[in-house]
Structure 1
Amino acid sequence: MSDLRQIFQGYLSQMENASTDETMQRQLVRDKVFDAVRTAIMEGLIAPDTRLTERELCEAFDISRTVVREVVRRLEAEKLVSVVPHSGLRVARLTRKHVHEIYEIRTELEAITVRSFLACATDEHIAEAQEFARKMLEAGAKGDKVGMAETMSKFLRFMTDVADNQIAAEMLDQLRSRVNMLRIYAMAEPGQLETGMEGVRAIIAGITARDIAAAERATRIYVRRSAEAVLRHMDRDG
């Protein structure tokens, strides 16, 4: 894939400035390559079903096959790539069935998360939630879809930590990369970024008021609208 190096140019310059300590440098390089490929997949710069080879990734980043294999294992763990028999490593393609299943589970998990958070949140926790919302809205205003999606993931993790809801946290972690990818697909739809920001405002309004029913209702609406946008995106792009 001749344009991989161009896609990852910004990450390559960061890697050149990495620590000179050999062990630290190896860790930094591995993490930066993983972040670069993960972000490119989530943003659609590397399209679903694209075939990736060790050689292409080695050449794109000027790294060893050992590092590439470590990165691939992490991408497989997040369900962003998979090994297809007789075809090799390919970027995951989510079907409409996958989307329906993910959003059905996501709706319930996020509603439970908000409800359990508000059941025990202190004033300090509410203030932290408001700060997460501010960061999400700031990212949205800049058109930073990845930043907004990843801040929402951190916000959900914060709420599960406060509520000590470890099962919900584990399940959200398992879905995190695929959900973030779908959030980015959703926000690619005309007007959906603004709709998402409106949803964030409604959720945080319910949380600020300590109105569990309102916060949960806003969460369900936010997730449902995101699902609808993803399906429109899939219909348009085939």
Structure 2
Amino acid sequence: MGVFPHAELPPPVAAVIEAIETDIIRGIILPSTRLIEDHLMEDYDAKRHVVRAALVELQRLGVVVKPPHIGARIRRFDAASLEALYHFRSVLHRAAVEAMPLPVAEARLAAVHAAAQAHAEATQSGDLIAIHRANMAFHRLFFGLCDNPYIEESIRLHDWLSFPARAYAITDQSALSRACEEHGQMVAAIERCDREALLSLALGHMVQARRIYEGKYLSR
């Protein structure tokens, strides 16, 4: 399954999902926001069955939760759940880096380098959904170097699960600049077969987005 599984859905459903993702990134849809079908139909000019299918997919990915008797909402993390999520993401990222065979084949290294460049170019475009997708594509290729499909799939799933926490960093220029710099450092560390640096970068790369979320939603 690709990094954007909903791309395989009918185009109207994928379009609504993309619109919801964009509004999360922009801060229009906030953590715990209730997603009311009638409002989404109006906002995105979509039919009810399309909106429902989009919500089902986002719930499957963990972006949307549906507590009993409350209705669909964007996932909100409290301090404990955020700590647990990022602890497990760290476990996964460490496992991926430790499993990566070094040196990396030239063609695969070139693909990771191209993905880092594509993300850097997207950040200059101001297209928020393009930045999000380019970032996810880079991570998919980078962690895919571990050649363990179970680790890769777990990382992909937890990238989506953490999207409601990571999304707000996409509009932060300082965080974007730092992410681009760290992507470049990851590529350089692969080139010189520096596993220790790769591990430090892979773990530290998650910190900025987490801090932004904590500052916005956990410090109030």
| Structure-1 separation of matches of 2:160 and 2:80 | 17
Q: 1:217 aligns with which of 200, 203, 210?
A: 200
Question: Deviations 1:101-151 (Å, cap 9, x if unpaired)?
Answer: 221122232233234334362011111111111122222344555434432
Q: 2:111 aligns with which of 128, 132, 138?
A: 128
3-state secondary structure, aligned to 2:193: coil
* More off after superposition, 27-36 vs 79-88: 79-88
Q: 1:48 aligns with which of 31, 39, 46?
A: 31
| Structure-2 separation of matches of 1:224 and 1:27 | 35
1:175, distance to aligned residue in structure 2 (A): 1.5
Q: Which residue of 2 aligns with 1:4?
A: none
Structure 2 residue runs of 5 or longer lacking an equivalent are 1-8
| Structure-1 separation of matches of 2:36 and 2:74 | 11
Q: Which residue of 2 aligns with 1:180?
A: 163
| Structure-1 separation of matches of 2:51 and 2:69 | 20
* More off after superposition, 197-206 vs 177-186: 177-186
Task: Tell me how many residue pairs correspond in the alignment.
Answer: 212
| Structure-2 separation of matches of 1:42 and 1:149 | 9
Match status 1:114 vs 2:97: yes
3-state secondary structure, aligned to 1:191: helix
| Large movers: runs of 4+ above 6 Å | none
Alpha-carbon RMSD across the aligned residues, in angstroms, is 2.6
1:66, distance to aligned residue in structure 2 (A): 1.9
| Structure-1 separation of matches of 2:137 and 2:127 | 15
Structure index of larger Rg:
1
Higher RCO (C-alpha under 8 Å, 6+ residues apart): 2
Maintained 8 Å contact 1:187/1:196? no
Structure 1 residue runs of 5 or longer lacking an equivalent are 1-25
Q: Which residue of 1 aligns with 2:58?
A: 75
Maintained 8 Å contact 1:189/1:233? no
TM-score, L = length of structure 2: 0.81
1:235, distance to aligned residue in structure 2 (A): 4.1
Q: Which residue of 2 aligns with 1:234?
A: 217
Q: Percent identity?
A: 23
| Structure-2 separation of matches of 1:44 and 1:92 | 14
1:34, distance to aligned residue in structure 2 (A): 1.9
